[in-house]
Copies of this chain bind each other. A is one copy, B any other.
Amino acid sequence: MIVILLYLQTNILSMINLLSNLKISVPDKIFIKDPESSDLGKRIIEHSILLIEEIGFDNFTFKKLGAKIGSNESSIYRYFESKHKLLLYLTSWYWAWIEYQLVFATHNIPNKKEQLFKAIEVVTKSIKEDVAFSHINEVVLNRIIVNEYSKSYLTKEVDNENEEGYFAIYKRLITRLSGIISNVDNSYEYPLSLASTIVEGALHQHFLKSHFRTITDCDQDITPTDFFTNLTIKVLNI
């Protein structure tokens, strides 16, 4: 019993350690100065998440953020050249964090089907628990992704920014999921489209669940994870 507890504790501690030491890496062209490198930078990230959730990205300004953190607008501009870049930072961070969980949660599952189910769960679930020891509130960040992610790429600058690598992490996540799908059914013709549909579609179902309840079956009992797991089972005939 003590051995088991110790073992569990060691695992939990090593995971905490891993999570707090592991620096989620965001393409460095997105920021002017790395917000992880200073106290002000971390406060910018922490409170931008809370403020965007509160008033929405469209109403969010650096001036309002400055007021919230008792800092000056001009200081925030030393970290990000625009609020759009800050959104790119937050979304890249989020998808890197999801990718990390995907790799971590699936890598020691030998059964390919179970691996796929786990992967779908990771990319479609709503985040309920915050990893409390960082300045980033993942629960709130998840809600921002649902409401604002599309705005990061639905722009006239998307092709240039894509070339600069701003969407690399997201695309790598989709590619990974696609690979896990193909591992289960190598003959399926549309693994990339299925993967991108699951990830984007799950965000959309979460949105509908909160705002357009009449056009989704998702509710308190049925989750987007249930819907997309069922869909994938049928599409891959497993």
Contacts from A to B (Cβ < 8 Å): 55-56, 58-59, 147-148, 150-151, 153-156, 158-159, 162, 167, 171, 174-175, 178, 189-197, 200-201, 204-205, 207-208, 211-212, 214-218, 222, 224, 227, 230-231, 234-235, 237
- The count of identical subunits is 2
In the complex with contacts A147-B154, A231-B235, A192-B171 CB distance below 8 A: no
Decide: A190 and B215 in contact? CB cutoff 8 A: no
A217 neighbours in B (Cβ, 8 Å): 189-193
Distance between Cα atoms of A235 and B153 in the complex (Å): 30
Distance between Cα atoms of A129 and B32 in the complex (Å): 45
Distance between Cα atoms of A151 and B57 in the complex (Å): 11
In the complex with contacts A159-B211, A214-B175, A231-B194 CB distance below 8 A: yes
In the complex with contacts A217-B190, A231-B235, A171-B212 CB distance below 8 A: yes
A193 neighbours in B (Cβ, 8 Å): 205, 208, 216-218, 224, 227
